[in-house]
Amino acid sequence: MVRMPRVSSTSRPYHHGDLRAALLQSAERTLREKGVGALSLRELARDVGVSHAAPGRHFKDKQALLDALALDGYERLNQSLATAAERPGRSFEERMTALARAYLGFAVENPELLELMFARKHDPDSSAQLAAAVDRSFGSLTRTFADAQEQGEIVPGDPERLTLVAAASLHGLAALIASCALDAEEAMAGLDEHVRLLLHGLRPR
């Protein structure tokens, strides 16, 4: 009987059809359960059952992994925002409420990922691809404001400045939920009123 040579754990080939996707799924699970400090390429390789060198085919180091994880989050968020923004025939307030619901829904479902996304956004070593994804996430809001200005639905002014005010308000809600200062269900239930106050201000009407 011919004995086949044993393949060591450090030299066996990876067997995933899409190793990159498997690593990102494992990374996001680790992020949710243990935090960003627990992420390492070696541990991810062990988790998905490949050699410790295999992740290097897709991520040169942990920084590249964090960028990829944040980029995946932005792509998912941007898809949700784009879907919310692509419904014609509604008032500006209805469109804003749909965008707010899409953003806050993502934040409620992915608080740890959202925190990483914003951390990587401000890191000077983050990739140009990630920076472009961040710009697209604000693009849905900016286009909504610009369209509303053209229709005379809201005041004139720099639409990017208006976007910043709206984004800060929505992200503030997300931060309150993440810190357990605000109940997620309560925030979602009161989102219509939150958008109404954001758009109309606090003056008597």
**What is the residue extent of each domain of the chain?**
18-60, 61-200
pLDDT of residue 144: 86
Tokens of 36: 């960003």
CA pair distance 200, 167, nearest whole angstrom: 16
- The domain defined by 61-200 folds into Tetracycline Repressor; domain 2 (1.10.357)
Q: Which of 82-86, 93-97, 101-105, 173-177 has the lowest mean pLDDT?
A: 82-86
The answer as to CATH 2.60.40 being correct for domain 18-60 is: no
Is the overall model pTM greater than 0.75, yes or no?
Answer: yes
- Tokens standing for residue 200: 């109309």
Residue type, 143: R
Structure tokens belonging to residue 39: 């992420």
Write the pLDDT tens digit of every residue in 40-66: 999 999 999 998 888 888 888 999 999
Which amino acid is residue 188, in one-letter code? M
HEC letters along 98-137: HHHHHHHHHHHHCHHHHHHHHHHHCCCCCCHHHHHHHHHH
